[in-house]
Amino acid sequence: MDTSSKRALVTGGSGDIGGAICRRLAADGLHVIVHANGNLARAQGVVDDIVVAGGGAQAVAFDVADGEATRAALEALLEGGPIQVVVNNAGVHDDAPMAGMSGAQWRRVIDVSLHGFFHVTQPLLLPMARRRWGRIVSVSSVAAVTGNRGQSNYAAAKAALHGASKSLAREMASRGISVNVVAPGVIAGSMADAAFPAEVVKQIVPAARAGTPEEVAALVGFLCSDDAAYINGQVIGINGGMA
């Protein structure tokens, strides 16, 4: 199906991986809605990059953890046409050993990654099904597969996306909609560079390097294409051999 008339919503689209995904989908011909939690200016910067490169994009800001605010924002976006590609990339870290983790730390991380997935995806399902074509990709983490010290909240939130996505894939597959998860390992960018010095990366990653946001974006772009129509309900690692 021609993607030139399709719109894609990328949550957390102003970050390192999110921005790369936005630029990739725009290069593939989609009109990209770049989402930010609060920093609309940063999302607009990604939009400006896309427009300069000849693509189509717009910026939007809302808190995916707020169900009412998200639904209102989506209703406004749907007035401009269908959204047939959704990339759930929004997520936050608030690391601590569970023995010292507060309830607020546990809840906020799960609110954004897991409840945010529901708040964003659920209202778009029936409009997507009516057009009998859709792509839903959620960005998880290798931590959801292997576990990671200090990240029980983050690993729990991301692992929950695996079960939800596998179940949703079974519900929507007959309508031409695929639902998949990508689980990146150590990816270069502002968050990983501080946490994983080069010598640590060489020890924990068999490929002996961090991945790039563009490599993650290439996988997401493929999953959103017609060529990937029969890939459904999968969790695909992109981690240089870590898991």
Given a contact cutoff of 8 angstroms between Cβ atoms, the answer to whether 21 and 220 are in contact is yes
- The values of phi and psi at residue 60, to 5°, are -150, 150
* Per annotation, catalytic residue among 106, 133, 154, 196: 154
- Provide the terminal-to-terminal Cα distance of the chain, rounded to the nearest Å: 34
230 is catalytic: no
Token representation of residue 220: 């997401």
Going by C-alpha positions, the residue among 62, 75, 86 that lies closest to residue 9 is 86
Instruction: Give buried/exposed letters for 195-209 (b at 16+ CB in 10 A, else e).
Output: ebeeeebeeebeeee
- The values of phi and psi at residue 233, to 5°, are 75, 25
Going by C-alpha positions, the residue among 140, 185, 184 that lies closest to residue 160 is 140
- Residue 173, judged by CB atoms within 10 A of its CB (0-12, 13-18, 19+), counts as middle
Residues acting as catalytic residues: 154
